[in-house]
């Protein structure tokens, strides 16, 4: 399987080159044109990314995300009993930044262990949710979408569903 996966990308590149040659296209010109368009897209997205990273950094450094996690965690604990507040912080941070969520996940793994309820819920939640606000800002900025309609509500609903399923599955697996 490893040998196949190592050969997949070069095979794809050779296939693209072969198709270009068979259709008598200028492959290099097409490549440079695509790279140029890609760089324009990156240049257009950088201000949004920078603003989002700064906002997440400020919220995390100020302790707001942890305070929000503790507040929501108290409400969840009233209904479900023993529930680590770190999971709530992780779920909130994941909406904004995958790298910050990964840092929190490592802290959870160190404190609770990877095979604990918290470790399993963390792993499952990170695998089944998306960075909603990051993704929306980057992709909508790149595509110049101004009317998002129900995108945020749908994304938050699917993220909540992923988190709920993660918690339920982790509870089953941790037994």
Is residue 69 a part of any domain in this protein?
A: yes
Is residue 162 a part of any domain in this protein?
A: yes
Q: Are 162 and 129 in contact (CB under 8 A)?
A: yes
Q: What pLDDT is stored for residue 45 in this prediction?
A: 79
> What range defines the domain where residue 68 resides?
43-173
d(CA 161, CA 175): 22
Is residue 22 a part of any domain in this protein?
A: no
Q: What is the value of pTM for the model shown?
A: 0.65
How many folded domains does the chain comprise?
A: 1
Instruction: Read off the pLDDT of residues 128-145 as tens digits, 9 standing for 90 and up.
Output: 998 888 888 878 877 888
Is residue 17 a part of any domain in this protein?
A: no
Is residue 38 a part of any domain in this protein?
A: no
Tokens of 20: 């270009």
Instruction: Read off the pLDDT of residues 4-48 as tens digits, 9 standing for 90 and up.
Output: 888 999 999 999 999 999 999 998 999 999 999 989 888 887 887
Is residue 37 a part of any domain in this protein?
A: no
Q: CA–CA distance from 148 to each of 48, 63, 110, 131 (Å)? A: 16, 30, 39, 16
Instruction: Read off the pLDDT of residues 42-72 as tens digits, 9 standing for 90 and up.
Output: 888 788 778 877 887 788 789 887 787 777 7
Is residue 25 a part of any domain in this protein?
A: no
Is residue 72 a part of any domain in this protein?
A: yes
């Amino acid at each position: 399987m490893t040998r196949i996966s190592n050969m997949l990308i070069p095979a794809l590149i050779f296939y693209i080159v072969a198709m270009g040659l068979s259709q008598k296209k200028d492959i290099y010109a097409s490549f440079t044109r695509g790279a140029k368009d890609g760089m324009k897209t990156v240049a257009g997205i950088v201000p949004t990314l920078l603003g989002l990273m700064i906002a997440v950094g400020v919220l995390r450094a100020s302790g707001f995300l942890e305070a929000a996690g503790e507040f929501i965690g108290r409400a969840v604990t009233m209904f479900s009993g023993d529930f680590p507040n770190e999971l709530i912080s992780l779920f909130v941070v994941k909406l904004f930044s995958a790298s910050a969520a990964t840092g929190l996940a490592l802290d959870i793994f160190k404190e609770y262990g990877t095979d604990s309820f918290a470790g399993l819920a963390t792993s499952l939640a990170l695998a089944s949710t998306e960075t909603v606000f990051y993704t929306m800002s980057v992709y909508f900025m790149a595509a110049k979408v101004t009317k998002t309609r129900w995108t945020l509500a749908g994304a938050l609903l699917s993220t909540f569903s992923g988190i709920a399923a993660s918690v339920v599955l982790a509870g089953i697996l941790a037994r």
